[in-house]
Structure 1
């Protein structure tokens, strides 16, 4: 036995279907395929073909979208302790390799999430793969390598590690110059419930994309879309959980005095207000939060209870938010009467 002889070769039938069709050269060696055999199989018009550097497609036809995705991850994944071999299946991951420090992002990721505004996988010229910044990895073939200082926790979609939707959106938007395409992507992300507007804006800010006018315009539409959806959920919360009808979208003023601020819902008899916290993480976030805090403090000094609710809480825990508002309404009888304020339509 020489140092090139694989120890305990694993038969190809032990792998799941897609992993029998796309393997690295190191994995093939681990399965007993010699370099000479590999070269023979990958000859022109041979039964195998090189899909990417050190990644082999074990049939002669065009790769499927699934094969392209697995091939991209095999190319980009961090090597295991055995040189050139991506992490092997474990008891917890029996059906294929663990793609360490690599995940699908960009338009391919959004298509995997089910976005209708993205192209089919096979029509994409390239597939974006996100890896840590320190990795020495070059783009190759149809794989575009994107780097990040902090790798996010991936989500598993169809058995593949995929970047979270906000990060995948930012990576997709970075390469798009069509304002309408950007707007469609951001709007679908919020309307279909994939993520909250604030999370998208946070990623776009970190990617330094908010200096592009077409992105800023799309973000403005996104925030308007997010507020509209949150308002609809607030109406539904009041209706479905039997809360008293408030007055909607009002401004409060002291009689003959200053403007106290706008509110999304207000119960005058109980002096309870609800305001949607739809702040987006932009550069003026601290100043905007200070304005929120000053407004709340001023209203509560007047005896008005203010309940702040985020769109995310309305989406994920509508019943719990209704209970919070109901508790505030019930507690109003135990408080001193609030100051008289003028309620005006906003």
Structure 2
């Protein structure tokens, strides 16, 4: 049997090209390759090589980044039948290729297009996310990451990849370089990969907010997210013809206490917009309570508070403009609001 000899009479047309180059022991057997033939092909200097336990590369020389990823997933994937990892077929081409396994960590961020993540071939290991109860060990270049609940994977280049927030948390778990952490978190928001709140939720779940360099990076992340949200808010007012508000002001009762700051305020309509760019963190229960108290106080004074999140501004700018316009128009039907002093923030 030579390297160019077909594996067996069973065709491989239903497999993607990379799946013809990276196969498991069970797949090779299903295509008629005996143990003796497999050993012969993988002899020193032979045309095939074993990259991971039970996973083989069907050509000599170093594997490509794509082959490393597929081999890692073949090693980690849940088998759909005894000894046979799930693969697409002619009758069911959309069947998930890899069950209960997905790429995460730095490799996932590279696949998501992060310029601050290293190239695949420079990574010493590839993180693969699997359910907590899977009996699977890290081996070779594959590092097994366990989770009690798998997130829905994002398909990238035909691979199941962890969503950006989860991939960031798994990457940051292993990083001690504060600059690298900051660059990854900043790019996540600046590159519009996800919202800051989603990242902080994952970092909190991973118990990473006790690390000073991660906390510093999160502060930069939230500042970056606020700047982007404020820019979208300015654009919303301009593009959808809303009257100009006063921006970033503090409200105060005459001779009384400060009522709090808002991001935009229309004094003639007693309508305020507040961007919620905070993210859930373990020590912020008091902040959430203070925010709710401020909003309730303003509304008791007759001031309508429109609450907008960065996600809403990103995904439905026109709809948010309509919400604000409705609040402005409805002000003529309300009782006059209490007089408040408006101060620059």
Q: State if a TM-score over 0.5 links the two structures.
A: yes
**Deviation digits for residues 226-260 of structure 1 (CA, Å, limit 9, x no counterpart):** 11110111001001111000000000000000110
SS, match of residue 314 in structure 1:
helix
1:12 corresponds in structure 2 to 12
Shift of 1:14: 4.0
Q: Deviations over 1:278-315 (max 9, x none)?
A: 12111244432222221111111111000010001011
Contact 1:46 1:60 in 2 (8 A): yes
2:193 aligns with 194
Measured in 1, the distance between the counterparts of 2:160 and 2:221 equals 27
Secondary structure of 1:221's aligned partner? helix
Give the match for residue 239 of structure 2. 240
- Name the structure 1 match of 2:53: 53
Q: Which residue of the partner structure matches residue 341 of structure 1?
A: 340
Query: Secondary structure at 2:325's aligned position in 1?
Result: helix
Q: Distance in 2 between matches of 1:93 and 1:275?
A: 49
Alignment correspondent of 2:175:
176
1:98-146 Cα shifts (integer Å, max 9, x gaps): 2000000000000000000011111111100000000011111110100
Task: For residue 94 of structure 1, report the CA deviation from its aligned partner.
Answer: 2.4
The alpha-carbon distance between structure 1 residues 92 and 232, as it changes in their structure 2 partners (threshold 3 A), is: farther
Residues 97 and 320 of structure 1: CA distance in aligned 2, closer, same or farther (over 3 Å): closer
Q: CA deviation at 1:90?
A: 4.0
Name 1:139's counterpart in structure 2: 138
Q: TM-score normalized by structure 1?
A: 0.95
Q: How does 1:22-41 map to 2 (within 5 A)?
A: 22-41=22-41
Structure-2 separation of matches of 1:259 and 1:141: 60
| Alpha carbons 1:77, 1:101 under 8 Å: kept | yes
Q: Distance in 1 between matches of 2:161 and 2:220?
A: 26
Q: In 2, Cα distance between the equivalents of 1:88 and 1:180?
A: 40
**C-alpha separation between the residues in 2 aligned to 1:125 and 1:27?**
27
C-alpha distance 255-91 of structure 1, shift in aligned 2 (>3 A): farther
Contact 1:9 1:30 survives alignment (8 Å): no
TM-score normalised by the chain length of structure 2? 0.95
Moved more, 10-19 or 109-118: 10-19
CA distance in 2, matches of 1:59, 1:91: 25
Is residue 16–residue 96 contact of structure 1 (8 Å, CA) maintained in 2?
no
**Residues 14, 89 of structure 2: 8 Å contact kept:** no
Which residue in the other structure is 1:4 paired with? none
1:210 is matched with 209
Q: Does 1:127 align with 2:126?
A: yes
Is residue 304 from structure 1 mapped to residue 320 from structure 2 by the alignment? no
Q: Is the 8 A contact 2:127 2:144 kept in 1?
A: yes
Unmatched 5+ stretches in structure 2: 1-7
**1-side partners of 2:100 and 2:285: how far apart?**
34
2:116 alignment counterpart: 117
Structure 2 SS opposite 1:12: coil
Q: 1:153/1:316 Cα in 2 relative to 1: closer, same or farther (>3 Å)?
A: same
Residues 243 and 119 from structure 1, CA distance in 2 versus in 1: closer, same or farther, beyond 3 angstroms? Answer: same
> RMSD in angstroms over aligned alpha carbons?
1.4
In 1, Cα distance between the equivalents of 2:95 and 2:57?
Answer: 16
Counterpart Cα distance in 1 of 2:80 and 2:65: 26
Which whole-Å deviations, capped at 9, do the CAs of 1:166-204 have from their partners, x for residues lacking one?
000000001111100000000000001000000000000
Which residue of structure 2 aligns with residue 321 of structure 1? 320
